[in-house]
Amino acid sequence: MKKRDEQILSEEEIKRIIVRISHEIIEKNGGAKKLALVGIRTRGVPLAGRIAQVIKEVEKIEIPVGSLDITMYRDDLSAPRVPSPRVQKTEIPFNVTEKIVILVDEVIYTGRTIRCALDALMDLGRPAAIQLVVLVDRGHRELPIRPDYIGKNIPTSHFEEVKVKLLEVDGEDKVEIVKLKEPYRRGKGGS
C-alpha cells in the first residue's frame, strides 16, 4: 500500500487509463455512433476531450463533446462555510435527446456532484442513456450512484483529499492523496 501524501497516478498511468476507458466505452456501446461526451467543469472537461480523441482514433468518428457547469444545481449553496460559488459556462453544442451521453468527472466521492449533473442534463433533453466515467473513485458514497467506467479505485478516509492535476488546467498530469487536519467537507470539490 502506498504511503499517503504522495503521487498515486503518474502522467503515463493517466494516459493508459484514458485509453482503457475509451475502449471500454466503445465495446459497451457497440461503437461510437450514438455517443456524446459531457465533462463536468472543471477537470471533467479535458478528460472528456481526451476520451473523445482516443475514440476518434479508434472508430474514425468525431464524437461531440460538451461541458457542464453544475453550480446552480448544488444542494449545499446555503450551507455554512461553503464559499460563494463561481458559476461557469455550460456549453453543449448538440442535442442530448436520444444520445448516449457519457458524463465525465475526475473524482467521485459522495455522489452529490453527479446527482447535480444528472439534473442539469435532464433539463437539456432526454438522453437515450447516461453513463458515468470517473478517473478516481474514492468511496464514501452518500447517494446510490455508481460509475460505469472507473480509472482507479482509491480507498480514502475523510481526512484525505484526492487532488487531480491535468495538463490543460494545472500544467501537469498527476493524482495525489493529501492528508488533511480536519475531515474533508462537501462543497470543496471532489464529490
* Residue-level length of the chain: 191
Torsion, Cα of 91, 138, 74, 52 (10° steps): 10
Strand bridging mode 160-165 / 174-179: antiparallel
pLDDT for the residue 87 = 72
- Give the model's pLDDT for residue 189: 43
- Determine contact, residues 134/147, Cβ cutoff 8 Å: yes
Intervals of the chain under pLDDT 70: 1-5, 75-85, 184-191
10-75+88-158 CATH, one of 3.40.50.2020, 3.20.20.70, 3.90.550.10, 3.40.50.300: 3.40.50.2020
What is the reported pLDDT for 76? 59
